[in-house]
Amino acid sequence: MSADIKKQGTIWGVGLGPGDPELMSVKADRLLRSASHVAYFRKAGRAGQARRILEGMLQDGVTEIAMEYPVTTEIPLDDPLYNQTLSAFYEDSSAKLRALSLEGQDVVVVSEGDPFFYGSFMHVYTRLNGDCPVQVIPATTGMSAAWTATGLPVTWGDDVLSVLMGTLPEDTLVEHMTRADALVIMKIGRNLETVRRALHRAGRFNAAWLVENAAMPNQSVQKLSEAGQKVTPYFSIIVVHGNGRRP
């Protein structure tokens, strides 16, 4: 590593866990309480879930850097403009973090859940890694909090667990739901009806649990079959438990 790189500040990708500050790692807690610069992602006009988790943890005088998504669901995922818009956003966000690193400033970039598990931090990590020092602090994932909230083990023995996005085509969901022993389905939101149909087709609907806001104050746990037709919030996960080999 060159002398110039050694003088740069470190960009810390810190996982906050599923929502309860007490489930945060000791290392993440220590870094946040001593940080001079803290960055987080959020939807424009919103405080953001990551920032909510940090409430009361940051020291006086900390510089907060809110990186606001230019789009969330306003453009269809398969529209080329969606990737173009987000790519420009991540380039701009990375440039701001890179500039702080070059000034010798350490920056803690927080992520809900784990930074390397479907998180926004991954997109700045790939742009910054190699340009400046980057360290990643793992965390408990939201899906772990979700299956724990059901009060049932999610896998046994040789069970195969599949993690699926509700944004996948229905036929693709059915294929994976049929092959796997245990399921975690994320990014439900407006895709709930597609997920319901896929679970019915795969014969897994009656075994599915819906967990909303896992490990948060407003956590809700119920069988999906009892959830009615309500639209689920962004922080919702469907869990289907495995039932494999056991002593």
Per residue in 52-93, pLDDT tens?
999 999 999 999 999 999 976 656 667 778 789 999 999 999
pTM recorded for the entire structure: 0.90
Least confident range of 56-70, 137-151, 168-182, 222-236:
222-236
Domain 143-240, what fold?
Answer: 3.30.950
| pLDDT > 90 fraction of the chain, expressed in percent and rounded | 80
State the pLDDT at residue 1.
46
Angle (nearest 5°) at CA 238 between 237 and 243: 130
Domain 3-140 has CATH 3.40.1010.10: yes
Q: What angle do CA 38, 6, 134 make, to 5 degrees?
A: 40
Tokens of 148: 């724990």
Q: Which residues, at least 6 apart from 21, have a Cβ–Cβ distance to it below 8 Å?
A: 29, 53, 57
Domain boundaries, the chain: 3-140, 143-240
Banded pLDDT at 230 (limits 50, 70, 90): confident
pLDDT at residue 2 is higher than 60 = no
* Average pLDDT of the segment spanning 121-148: 97
Confidence (pLDDT) at 45:
83
Q: Which pairs count as long-range contacts for 156-160, CB under 8 Å and 24+ apart, including other chains?
A: 156/242, 156/243, 156/244, 156/245, 156/246, 157/244, 157/245, 157/246, 158/244, 158/245, 159/242, 159/243, 159/244, 160/242
